Amino acid sequence: MKIIILAAGFGKRLGKNIPKALVELINGNTILDYQLKNIQKITELENVVIVTGYKQELIKERYLSITQVINEEYPTTNTAKSLLNGIRMINEDIIFMNGDVIFHPDILKIMISNNHTNKIAVNNFNVGDEEIKYDLDHDNNIKNLSKTVSDPLGEAVGINYIKKEFIDSFKNNLVKCDKQDYFEKAIEISISQGIIFKPMNIESLFCCEVDFKEDLEKVNNYINNNYV
């Protein structure tokens, strides 16, 4: 199994002028430090691939021992193309996540505990315009996954699992995505082809994508109260 971390974007909304994955938390660790610490609870760091772009040299300097792939087109592309760069040479099970998500380590443990299906980590919270939303079909599988789902059940939190047997199809669907598409578009294409993604509800476990200063405050409060 490989873990792909997408850390190529600008992170303009935080106003830090560095890759968002390198934003420091209240305990002095970066967001990426925190992710890697959690990943080490399920696998070795040699199984991690970081997709970089904006100011990639800063990530390279700090994480020399971890495999990194550069999305050279990061100024004009989104997470679909970054993920394609990250998995192009991979042919095994993968977990992939955005490089700005702070999450409880048990989420990854649960994700790999039943590794027979593709999974999307979700919650059932109220969601705003910027969140990736989801709904389910009559078999309780993921049906739609985008910012524009009209009657969403909650948010897809940006941590996902795909089985090896679907990787080639998924790569092809990432190729079909437009430059500015999120990787969720490739998941939707896969679903239209009959590939099943199960929702993995993590509602009781902390998970927050750090897009705005308010998100960073929420994360720092969580870290401060849980001594992590």
**The one-letter amino acid at 163:** K
Q: Which residue has the tokens 């476990």?
A: 205
- Residue 166 pLDDT greater than 80, yes or no: yes
What predicted TM-score, i.e. pTM, was given to this entire model? 0.95
pLDDT at 228: 62
pLDDT at 16: 82
Distance, in Å, from the CA atom of 96 to the CA atom of 5, rounded to the nearest integer, reads 6
- Integer angstrom CA distances of residue 177 from 38, 53, 155: 30, 19, 21
- Residue 192 pLDDT greater than 90, yes or no: yes
- Residue 175 pLDDT greater than 70, yes or no: yes
Average pLDDT over residues 112-134: 90
Residues of the chain above pLDDT 70, percent = 99
Q: Where are the alpha helices (DSSP H) in the chain?
A: 31-39, 56-62, 79-87, 106-113, 167-176, 184-192, 213-226
Find the helix or strand (DSSP H, E) in which 158 lies.
strand 154-162
Average pLDDT over residues 93-114: 95
The residues pairing with 95 across neighbouring beta strands, listed in sequence order, are 3, 161
Q: Are the C-beta atoms of residues 169 and 179 closer than 8 Å to each other?
A: no
- Among candidate residues 193, 4, 198, the one with its CA nearest the CA of residue 90: 4
Average pLDDT over residues 131-152: 96
pLDDT at 227: 61
Q: Which domains does the chain have, with CATH numbers?
A: 2-120+158-200 (3.90.550.10)
Q: What angle do CA 190, 195, 197 make, to 5 degrees?
A: 95
Q: Are the C-beta atoms of residues 212 and 13 closer than 8 Å to each other?
A: yes
Q: What angle do CA 73, 77, 81 make, to 5 degrees?
A: 85
Q: Are the C-beta atoms of residues 177 and 74 closer than 8 Å to each other?
A: no
- Residue 10 pLDDT greater than 80, yes or no: yes
pLDDT at 14: 81
Q: Which two tokens stand for residue 46?
A: 């040699």
> What would the pLDDT profile of 18-69 be if each residue is shown by its tens digit?
999 999 999 999 999 999 999 999 999 999 999 999 999 999 999 999 999 9
The DSSP secondary structure of 85-148, one letter per residue, reads HHHTT--S-EEEEETTEEE-THHHHHHHHSTTSEEEEE------TTS-EEEE-TTSSEEEEETT
